[in-house]
Amino acid sequence: MAHQIEPLIACRECDLLLREIPLFPNDVASCRGCGAQLYRNTPNSLNRTLVFSLTAAILFIIANAYPILGIEIQGTRNATNLYGAVYSLWNHEMRIIALLVFATTILIPAVELTMMIYLLLPLCLRRKPPGIALNLRILQGIKPWGMIEVFMLGVLVSLVKLNDSFSIIPGVALWAFGGLTFMFATVAASFNPRDVWAHLDREPDGKGST
Ligand SMILES: [Zn+2]
């Protein structure tokens, strides 16, 4: 790998080819042709994304373990968690919807968070996890299929509708889902695969200083 010659990158907006230059912390590189932002040097972005991912993981566990909402009918309380909702959809012959909810709200967010932590935790501890390129490719591929915010919206709409006829008790998991929606957006905003490669360029053996 020749480090003397800086690599070429293409502007996503106007396709102009430019030479990548090293940036000072917090600096932004813009395209010479159209002024679009090309990349930025955000110090500690991997550490920050790891903290957000771990927070999201804790919220995810709470969101899955506790009831989303409870309904009180004539003094009897009935609460359901996410698995209960999926199970009930499945039993009511709405199997495709059950599978969709399971995939977009449980499976894919779980895989996404696991892969994120698998990638970032070793990097932040100055180790290099195996399969980084594959991990990043899978992360990019599955990202559009995680739809916690759609689920959250659905729950809120049904909450408003049901509240006319029943007395609804919001569960712990509902608040956790709210936090999780926000945390997933924060992880997406703070994570840039570029920073992973920049980090590895600085510490190719994973043992240098940050
Ligand atoms: Zn441009």
pLDDT tens readout for residues 13-24: 999 999 888 888
pLDDT tens readout for residues 74-130: 778 788 888 888 998 899 989 999 999 999 999 999 999 999 999 999 999 989 999
Give the rounded percent of residues in the chain with a pLDDT score beyond 70. 94
CA of 17 to the centre of ligand 1 (A): 9
CA of 142 to the centre of ligand 1 (A): 28
Q: Most confidently modeled of 90-104, 154-168, 190-204?
A: 90-104
- pLDDT of residue 10 exceeding 80, the answer is yes
Which pLDDT band, with edges at 50, 70 and 90, does 210 fall under?
A: very low
CA of 98 to the centre of ligand 1 (A): 44
Tokens of 58: 């804790």
Tokens of 33: 């042709």
pLDDT value of position 69 = 84
Which pLDDT band, with edges at 50, 70 and 90, does 208 fall under?
A: very low
pLDDT value of position 59 = 96
CA of 39 to the centre of ligand 1 (A): 12
Average pLDDT over residues 139-153: 88
- Rounded to a whole number of angstroms, the distance between the first and last alpha carbons of the chain is 21
Q: Which residue has the higher pLDDT, 207 or 76?
A: 76
pLDDT value of position 78 = 80
Average pLDDT over residues 162-182: 87
Determine the Cα–Cα distance for residues 206 and 210; give it in Å rounded to an integer.
Answer: 10
DSSP 6: P
CA of 193 to the centre of ligand 1 (A): 20
CA 164 to chain centre: 34
Around ion ligand 1, residues with a beta carbon closer than 5 Å are: 11, 13-14, 16, 31, 33-34, 36
pLDDT value of position 61 = 96
Which pLDDT band, with edges at 50, 70 and 90, does 132 fall under?
A: very high
pTM, to two decimals: 0.81
pLDDT value of position 90 = 92
Average pLDDT over residues 186-199: 87
Averaged pLDDT of the chain:
87
